[in-house]
Amino acid sequence: MKTFNTPAPNIPYYTPVQDPPAGSALSPNPPPLFTPLTIRGVTFHNRIAVSPMCMYSSEDGFFTDWHLVHLGQFALRGVGLVIIEATAVRPEGRISPHDAGIWDDNHIAPLKRIVDYVHSQGIKIAIQIAHAGRKATTNVPHVIECDPTLPYVVPREYGGWPDDVVGPSAIPWDSNHAKPRELTIPEIQNIQKAFVDAANRAKTAGFDVLELHYAHGYLGHEFLSPISNKRTDEYGGSFENRTRFNVEIAGKVREVWPEDKPLFVRISATDWVENEESWTVDDSVKLVRKFKEIGVDLVDVSSGGNTPAQKIVVGPGYQVAFAEKIRKETNSLTGSVGLIREPKFANDIIASGKADLVLLGRQFLADSGWVFRAAEELGVIVKWPRQYHRCYNVKKPRPDDDTNETAK
């Protein structure tokens, strides 16, 4: 059927094409936050990304209609990149029994449904793949908050695996966590293969970007930090050995991930621990140089999460300085996270060269229309979804359009 309302391509239902996508700058000389960023063969139409946020809303790892609506809202509202939450490469690599997963080929179809919808809006989408290590089989945060008397470690009869938690060493995160079993070399190799298999599934699902999760005290971070890694073999001891697990995975994943698609890595830049040998921002600089050599394109810089002894100084943009240091000392692209709430502050991060991408998490949960608010505050006209054109009076409304109350 002929139509004047061009459809979005390659989806099994009709929706208008968003060209350019929502959130694209229409004003000349837009502020840096609203300038495009191209990495390999992928262009993000602005520098605003939805940070991966665990939602604890899966069963057996499967994404559902809830995730489609949750993630779809951000695509509809103009972000440059949506990053799907930490998605486990093995069932025992989940933080909780209700974490998302990508360890089975059956997980591909529901993921592809989300990817196809986000693409129908002209937006790019990434997935973060992860293994929780010694922080696995814990209860869902919003469940514990409602009833603190419930067990923190989920027992087997409630879908947990307290006897099958693993880590680089047999050191629990804290007394309220399960005690992990130290991984053998063959088990390490099997987990590395699980990351590669997950990357291949993500490729089949059509993701634009893949992110490896090496932060927040999960397995990748556990190998890096001497606080949690006391091994004496080739995966422990020296900096070279402690980084081996992560560098090997990144190299193997880069080999199977399409050459024209970016590979990101999220790290914790520091353990935030003094008076004890720990992971530091200087260590992160050295690690990022290794990542750059093997084809990692951007480092998503967070911090902390590996020990209850951490002393984090929290405030707006409290992790920006880490991204800035890594960017300047390695000449690598970085993303910055951590209480970035105000549009002018976010724009200044990009404008001053502290990072190349800003990632917002909780702020988007509180304000899914943050991109449009940022555009208004920064004085730039941006594209809105075609179906929502009435809410922004870029063009004079038709005289006969009595539904266009907002634009009148």
Q: Are strands 333-336 and 100-101 parallel, antiparallel or unpaired?
A: unpaired
Distance CA 332, CA 296 (A): 9
Distance CA 25, CA 374 (A): 12
Q: Are strands 298-302 and 100-101 parallel, antiparallel or unpaired?
A: unpaired
Query: Residue 257: beta bridge partners?
Result: none
Identify which of 205, 204, 207, 209 has the alpha carbon closest to the alpha carbon of residue 112: 205
Structure tokens at 43: 């262009």
Query: Residue 299: beta bridge partners?
Result: 265, 334
Distance CA 123, CA 50 (A): 12
Identify which of 163, 84, 178, 162 has the alpha carbon closest to the alpha carbon of residue 130: 84
All residues at 6 or more sequence positions from 51 whose CB lies less than 8 Å from its CB, including other chains = 83, 337, 359, 360, 361, 364
Catalytic, 218? Answer: yes
All residues at 6 or more sequence positions from 270 whose CB lies less than 8 Å from its CB, including other chains = 278, 279, 280, 281, 284, 303, 304, 322
Q: For residue 258, report the phi and psi dihedrals to the nearest 5 degrees.
A: -55, 140
Q: Are 219 and 276 in contact (CB under 8 A)?
A: no
In angstroms, the first-to-last Cα distance of the chain is 34
Query: Residue 100: beta bridge partners?
Result: 87
Distance CA 195, CA 200 (A): 9
* CA torsion through residues 116, 291, 334, 99, sign: positive
| Three-class DSSP category at 215 | coil
Distance CA 221, CA 86 (A): 14
Among 218, 235, 318, 388, which one carries the catalytic annotation?
A: 218
| Three-class DSSP category at 66 | helix
Distance CA 283, CA 404 (A): 56
Q: Which residues are catalytic?
A: 218
